[in-house]
Amino acid sequence: MTYNPVNDAPVANDVSISTNEDTAVEIALSGSDVDGDILTYSIVTSPSHGTLGEISGNKVSYTPTANYNGSDSFTFKANDGTVDSNATTVSITVIPPPVISNQLTSNPSETSITITWTTDNPSTSRVVYDTYDTVSHSVLGAAPNYDYANSTVEDSTKVTSHSVGLTGLTAGTTYYYRTVSHGSPESVGEEQTFKTTSVTTTTSTDGGGGETAVAQPSVCNDQKPGSAPLLLSAVSNGVNSITLNWAKANDPTSYYLVTFGTKPGEQLYGNPNV
C-alpha cells in the first residue's frame, strides 16, 4: 500500500507596524507551512495612502504618501510552490509630527535660562535661538537651524515633557527662539522671546555703610555717615567696568581706596582711576 502525502496550504499571518510621516519602513511578511516548504509572497491589494517596493524574500518596503498621516493597509498571500495561503492584512499607522505646546521659560539669569515645552507624541528636544542683530525670523528658514545663529545639541531621548538649558548668553539681552522636536519630519514651535537679567554690581563702602545692588544700567544712591564719603551713583559701563561718583567726606581726604567683590566679606582692594 502506497501513501501519497497531502500538501497542506501555507498560512499567512496578520502584521501591524507603524512609521513616522514621510518616512519609509521595511516590513517583514509573516507566514508558515506545516510541510516545511519554502514560501514566497505576493501582494493581493495595494495600500491606499502609500507605495510598496519589490518583495525580497519576505521583506517589502512601504513609503507613505507625502504629508499623509493616519491608517493604511494592504493584503498579501504566501505560496508554498503549489497552493496559496489565505490573503491576510498588513495594518499600518502613519504617525504625524509631534504637536508642540506650553512653551515656557524659567530660571533666567545674566547668562542662562531654561526652556520647557510639551509634545503630544514622544520626540527629541532641541532649541534654536538668536538675537535680531543680523537677521529677521518672521519667516521660518531652512533646517537644521531655520536661520537662527545658535542651536543646542539635540537630545535624542524621546519624551513628551521637554527641558533644555541655554548657557553662555549675554546679560540684559533679548533673545528669540524656537523649540524643535524631531519625529519625522521635525516640528518647530512658534517663535518666542526671553530676556536675560542685567548685570548686578554690589558696592561696599567705608564707615559702616551698607551695600547697594545696582542693575545695569540703573543708578543707585547710598546714604553714608557724615564722616565717610557719600556715594552718589554707581553705573555699569559694560563687562568689567563701572563708574563711581561720590562726594568728599567732611574730613580732608587726598586718597581713596575702592573695595569691590561679589560676596560680602570677600572683597578685593584696588586703586581707582580718579
Question: pLDDT tier at 218 (50, 70, 90 boundaries)?
Answer: very low
| CA triple 262-214-267, angle to 5 deg | 25
Taking the alpha carbons at both ends of the chain, their separation in whole angstroms is 123
Report whether 53 contacts 61 (CB < 8 A).
yes
214: its cell numbers: 545696582
3-state secondary structure (DSSP) of residue 99: coil
26: its cell numbers: 521595511
Q: Do domains 11-95 and 100-196 have the same CATH topology?
A: yes
Q: In sequence order, what are the beta bridge partners of 247?
A: 230
| Nearest alpha carbon to residue 42 among 93, 91, 83 | 83
What local confidence, expressed as pLDDT, does residue 225 receive? 43
Q: How far is CA 241 from CA 10, 58, 256, in A?
A: 84, 72, 18
Report whether 130 contacts 148 (CB < 8 A).
yes
3-state secondary structure (DSSP) of residue 90: strand
CB contact set of 110 (below 8 Å; sequence gap of 6+): 169, 171, 172, 196, 197, 198, 199, 200
3-state secondary structure (DSSP) of residue 27: strand
Alpha-carbon span 229 to 224, nearest angstrom:
7
Domain positions in the chain: 11-95, 100-196
Question: pLDDT averaged over the chain?
Answer: 82
Alpha-carbon span 12 to 32, nearest angstrom:
7
Residue with the bigger pLDDT between 47 and 221: it is 47
**Residue pointed to by grid coordinates 510598496:** 52
Residue 15: its H or E element: strand 15-20
| Nearest alpha carbon to residue 147 among 187, 181, 178, 184 | 178
Q: pLDDT > 90: what percent of the chain?
A: 50
User: Mean pLDDT lowest for which of 73-82, 104-113, 215-224?
Assistant: 215-224
pTM tops 0.75, yes or no: no
pLDDT digits (tens, 9 = 90+) for 143-153: 888 889 999 99
Phi and psi at residue 184, to the nearest 5°: -170, 110
Q: Which CATH class is domain 100-196?
A: mainly beta
What local confidence, expressed as pLDDT, does residue 203 receive? 52
pLDDT digits (tens, 9 = 90+) for 31-82: 999 989 999 999 999 999 999 999 999 999 999 999 999 999 999 999 999 9
- The fourth-level CATH superfamily of domain 11-95 is Immunoglobulins (2.60.40.10)
Alpha-carbon span 259 to 11, nearest angstrom:
88
pLDDT digits (tens, 9 = 90+) for 25-38: 999 999 999 989 99
Single-letter amino acid, residue 95: I
242: its cell numbers: 563701572
Q: Identify the burial level of 197 via C-beta atoms within 10 angstroms of its C-beta, where 0-12 means exposed, 13-18 middle and 19 or more buried.
A: middle
CA-based diameter of the chain, in Å? 135
